[in-house]
Amino acid sequence: MSARVALRDELASLGRYHSPQSPVEVRLNTNESPYPPPAAWQHAFSDAVRQVGFQRYPDREAKALRAAVGSRHGVEPEEVFCANGSNEVLLCLLLAFGGSGRRALVFEPTYGLHAHVAGLAGMEVVAEPRGADFRVDPVAGAAAIARVEPDVLFLCSPNNPTGRAEDPRTVAALVEGAPGLAVVDEAYGEFTSVSSLTLRDGSAGAEGLVVVRTLSKAWAMAGARLGYLVAHRDVVAGCQAAALPYHLSTQTQLAGVLALRYETEMAERVRAVAAAREELAKGLAELDVDTWPSDANFVLFRPRGRDASALWADLLAAGVLVRDFSSRPGLEGCLRVSVGTPEENERFLELLAGALR
């Protein structure tokens, strides 16, 4: 194409952020729930959709949904912003509060989309390394914040793809030290008992705190595309100014309102997945791989004495898709497996054992 049709630099590396989608038997590559949402939700959702007047635009303010999310977390609807997946939540946030001439700080290795979306929004992205156990070192983290003075600080707890939740004291200290927004991505927050939402109650730095959640993981609704953030109402107002009008469809809003009524089922699913994760970790411990502890629904592992990409390809050929991180800086030789059903996990362990033999 002509030079006039040049792709923006921020987009040139887009391919890196996509996990390949292949029609395989066992898909353990994107940390989805191995179980569908409850049948009762399915029925309630179908009934509700049948009654929608689709000739009308959706509720632009998503009032019912934001009220439902707000009541779940004990905050006002004005402190909640919802969008099509937490990825779109982040895009709106950074369109509103990022932009060129502003800086984002990430601690690598972490969720690649944070740097990517910051880049899309025109921000300069500064990457600092994590500590030896893949947690953010509080001293080095505070020093990085003082040096970089980020307009937007990103934390991810539990961190994808490494698995551990950050020490709440580290999060509190870094949020307090952040001069601008402090975004804590809690996509896997339902799998842990700690949340940065507790920092909202009068802690220093609470004004800039943004806690991001998704319905794609523990809530088993990746296909519905719904995520949200909880933040100061001025931050929410900024996100709404950046979002396109009517960006959140009527059916997505309904799906979310109804999903939140099945919290007990969500918690049961989380317990089942956590138990399966422990079994998976036990199985991995018996094999020739290094592993890291996980507070989420996936496990990072590194085969010893075997090329990780070749192993990934062998597993795929045998019908099990995991995620290959082996070429990501700081994750050399690493693969990540999502926790599936006990049967899927066993199949994975069997194939892995065979491939490592």
Task: Give the footprint of ligand PLP on this chain (CB under 6 A).
Answer: 31, 85-87, 111, 156, 160, 185, 187, 214, 216-217, 222, 227
> Cβ closer to ligand PLP: 112 or 303?
112
Contact 61, 246 (CB under 8 A): no
Distance of closest approach, residue 4 Cβ to ligand PLP, in angstroms: 33
> Cβ closer to ligand PLP: 33 or 216?
216
Q: What is the DSSP string of 268-312?
A: HHHHHHHHHHHHHHHHHHTSSEEE---SSSEEEEEETTS-HHHHH
In sequence order, the β-bridge partners of residue 155 are: 184
User: Phi then psi for 329, rounded to 5 degrees?
Assistant: -55, 130
> Cβ closer to ligand PLP: 222 or 274?
222
Rounded Cα gap, residues 280 and 296, in angstroms: 13
> Cβ closer to ligand PLP: 186 or 351?
186
Distance of closest approach, residue 244 Cβ to ligand PLP, in angstroms: 16
Rounded Cα gap, residues 254 and 32, in angstroms: 21
> Cβ closer to ligand PLP: 153 or 355?
153
Distance of closest approach, residue 324 Cβ to ligand PLP, in angstroms: 16
Rounded Cα gap, residues 180 and 11, in angstroms: 26
In sequence order, the β-bridge partners of residue 81 are: 229
Distance of closest approach, residue 229 Cβ to ligand PLP, in angstroms: 11
Distance of closest approach, residue 161 Cβ to ligand PLP, in angstroms: 8
Rounded Cα gap, residues 266 and 45, in angstroms: 16
> Cβ closer to ligand PLP: 178 or 221?
221
> Cβ closer to ligand PLP: 30 or 291?
30
> Cβ closer to ligand PLP: 75 or 296?
296
Nearest-CB residue for ligand PLP:
85
* Alpha helix ranges (H) inside the chain: 9-12, 39-50, 63-73, 85-97, 112-120, 138-148, 168-177, 233-242, 250-259, 263-285, 308-317, 342-356
Q: 């191995």: which residue's tokens?
A: 34
Distance of closest approach, residue 197 Cβ to ligand PLP, in angstroms: 16
Rounded Cα gap, residues 260 and 220, in angstroms: 11
Distance of closest approach, residue 102 Cβ to ligand PLP, in angstroms: 21
Distance of closest approach, residue 14 Cβ to ligand PLP, in angstroms: 15
Contact 280, 339 (CB under 8 A): yes
